[in-house]
Structures are given as C-alpha cells and as structure tokens.
C-alpha cells in the first residue's frame, strides 16, 4: 500500500537540514538517507503522522544526528470527539500500520512556524487519514504526507481515520493555493487544485454508492465493500471495508443512516 515506498525529504543546506518523514525502520533506507545528508547538520526531524512507514525511523535518525523529533502528538490527541467517544464504548478495530511506540521531542500545534537556517515551514493540522496528521507548507509548496498522495487515495480507518475530518482537511488544503504538493508516496503533484478536487469528488461518489446499495436493504461494511469495490483485489478488501466503515460512521453522525445494534464494524446499517 506504499507503491514504491515512502518519500523522505531533505530541506535546507549544510547549515541546517530538515528531514521530513524519516521513513520505515529499515537499515538500507537509513543508510541512503545518511549518505544523502553527508556532512550537513540535521536540525529538525519532522513527522507528518505516526504510521510505521513514515515515523519508525525517527528514533534511529535522531540518535545518528542529534536532531529533535517534531510531530503533532499521538493519534488519540487528534481524534474528533465522535471518534473518541466511539473508541471508548466499542471495538472499532483499525490501527493498521500504527507506530505504537512513537515518541516526539516537540509537539507542533496547528499554525506553528518551524524555522531553519535556510527555510521556514508553516504547520497545518490535517486529520482524516490519521488523527495526528500534519502537512508542512514551504512557501507555496506543501509536504502532504498521506493526505494527498501522488498515486492513489488514502485509507481512512476509524477511529484514527475520520471521513469528515479527511474531507475538511482536503478542503483546507485546497484553500492554500499551492503550486506543488510533495506527497508521502508517489511523484510530486503539479496540479494540486485538480488533484484535490478529484479526491473530494471520489469520496463523495463513494458515499453515493454506499447510499445507493443501502436502498436495497440493510448491510454491514464488508458486504457493502464487496458490492462496491468489484475491481479490487481480494487482499485489499479489508482496507476497502475500513473506508466504507468510515463513510457509514460519517453518515450515521449526520443522521443519514441508522445502525443496529450500534455503529461499528459488524453493525447492520440502513437508510433513515
């Protein structure tokens, strides 16, 4: 689900580099990053979110460079009130790829400014794919982690993923009028407005498909996923089911569907 792997970005020069998304805990990846850093001083390690393919290398890179790790915090700190409530009252599943041991040295608030010797980044809190997800704006270019990727859509898996938050974050990103997006996976996005508009339209089309299938009668998330994602390989149906669940929980919150006995992965959902 990471295509060619995770993009690790180096921003700055010899007097102070920012490393954005150190990547997975992989020695080959670490050696490549260190060779690219060379003699430069690393002043900041920035993490978009604490999925293992983005954050797991942070402790080893910090040990090698002495640089602090900067991030929003734990996924729980970024959950919407609704997801926080659901997570405490029922098993929602999820947790795919979570870096459960992730630690940070400095917590970044929304709107914070991080400065290096030759660069300035503005922090955008953009939950949805993950509660603690951040984007980093560098003038009119933005490092987008997994909010906007260059090759596919992102999984939204409750409770750390939240469809309403995801769409709101995409809309916020669209208002930034970026010239280029640098995603966590895939090539740079050189048509940000079109890409973000497509992602929003895609999610709304999925919602419409969910509602359409529910007109035929109540169903759970997996049944709906198998009916909607007909061209998806069987190995990816669990991820598709999590996306459908995210839509269903959002629709339930908005009063569009009812859940029996309560909203969750095994619930039967029906149109109101």
The CB-side HSE value for 60 (13 A sphere, CA atoms) comes to 17
Torsion sign across C-alpha atoms 253, 259, 264, 268: negative
Mean pLDDT of 200-205: 97
Torsion sign across C-alpha atoms 256, 258, 262, 267: negative
Which residues make beta-bridge pairs with 134? 125
Asked if residues 240 and 210 have their Cβ atoms less than 8 Å apart, the reply is no
Residue 109 has pLDDT above 70, yes or no: yes
pTM: 0.95
- Distance (Å, rounded) from C-alpha 110 to C-alpha 105? 16
- Distance (Å, rounded) from C-alpha 134 to C-alpha 146? 9
High-pLDDT (> 90) share of the chain, %: 90
Residue 2 has pLDDT above 80, yes or no: no
Mean pLDDT of 70-83: 92
| Burial zone of 237 (CB within 10 Å; 0-12 exposed, 13-18 middle, 19+ buried) | middle
- Supply the pLDDT for residue 177: 94
- Supply the pLDDT for residue 125: 98
- Supply the pLDDT for residue 18: 98
Asked if residues 7 and 182 have their Cβ atoms less than 8 Å apart, the reply is yes
Asked if residues 34 and 139 have their Cβ atoms less than 8 Å apart, the reply is no
- Supply the pLDDT for residue 4: 72
- Supply the pLDDT for residue 156: 96
Asked if residues 188 and 180 have their Cβ atoms less than 8 Å apart, the reply is yes
- Distance (Å, rounded) from C-alpha 239 to C-alpha 244? 9
- Supply the pLDDT for residue 151: 77
Distances (CA, A) of 125 to 34, 57, 69, 71: 28, 22, 16, 10
- Distance (Å, rounded) from C-alpha 182 to C-alpha 2? 15
- Supply the pLDDT for residue 152: 82
Asked if residues 144 and 184 have their Cβ atoms less than 8 Å apart, the reply is yes
- Distance (Å, rounded) from C-alpha 249 to C-alpha 260? 12
Distances (CA, A) of 210 to 53, 164, 221, 268: 30, 15, 9, 13
pLDDT band at 101 (very low <50, low <70, confident <90, very high): very high
- Distance (Å, rounded) from C-alpha 136 to C-alpha 181? 10
**16-40: pLDDT as tens digits:** 999 999 999 999 999 999 999 999 9
- Supply the pLDDT for residue 252: 97
- Distance (Å, rounded) from C-alpha 38 to C-alpha 16? 12
Q: Which residue has the tokens 């390989």?
A: 233
Residue 265 has pLDDT above 90, yes or no: yes
Residue 141 has pLDDT above 80, yes or no: yes
Phi-psi label, residue 241: left if phi above 0, alpha if psi -120 to 50, beta otherwise: alpha
């Amino acid at each position: 689900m990471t295509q060619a792997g995770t993009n690790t970005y180096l921003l700055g020069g010899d007097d102070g580099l920012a490393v954005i998304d150190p990547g997975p805990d992989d020695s080959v990846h670490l050696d490549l990053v260190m060779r690219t850093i060379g003699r430069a001083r690393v002043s900041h390690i920035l993490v978009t979110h604490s999925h293992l393919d983005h954050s797991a290398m942070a402790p080893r890179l910090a040990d090698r460079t002495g640089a602090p790790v900067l991030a929003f915090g734990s996924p729980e700190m970024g959950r919407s009130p609704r997801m926080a409530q659901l997570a405490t009252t029922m098993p929602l599943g999820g947790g795919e790829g979570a870096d459960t041991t992730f630690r940070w040295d400095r917590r970044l608030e929304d709107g914070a400014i991080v400065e290096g010797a030759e660069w300035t980044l503005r922090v955008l809190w953009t939950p949805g794919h993950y509660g603690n997800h951040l984007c980093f704006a560098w003038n009119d270019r933005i490092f987008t982690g997994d909010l906007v990727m260059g090759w596919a859509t992102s999984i939204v898996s409750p409770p750390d993923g939240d469809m309403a938050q995801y769409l709101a974050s995409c809309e916020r990103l669209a208002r930034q009028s970026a010239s280029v997006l640098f995603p966590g996976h895939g090539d740079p996005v050189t048509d940000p407005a079109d890409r973000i508009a497509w992602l929003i339209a895609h999610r709304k089309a999925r919602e419409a498909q969910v509602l359409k299938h529910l007109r035929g009668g109540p169903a759970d998330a997996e049944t709906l996923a198998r009916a909607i994602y007909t061209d998806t390989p069987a190995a990816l149906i669990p991820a598709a089911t999590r996306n459908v669940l995210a839509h269903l929980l959002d629709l339930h919150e908005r009063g569009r569907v009812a859940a029996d006995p309560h909203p969750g992965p095994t619930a039967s959902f029906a149109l109101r």
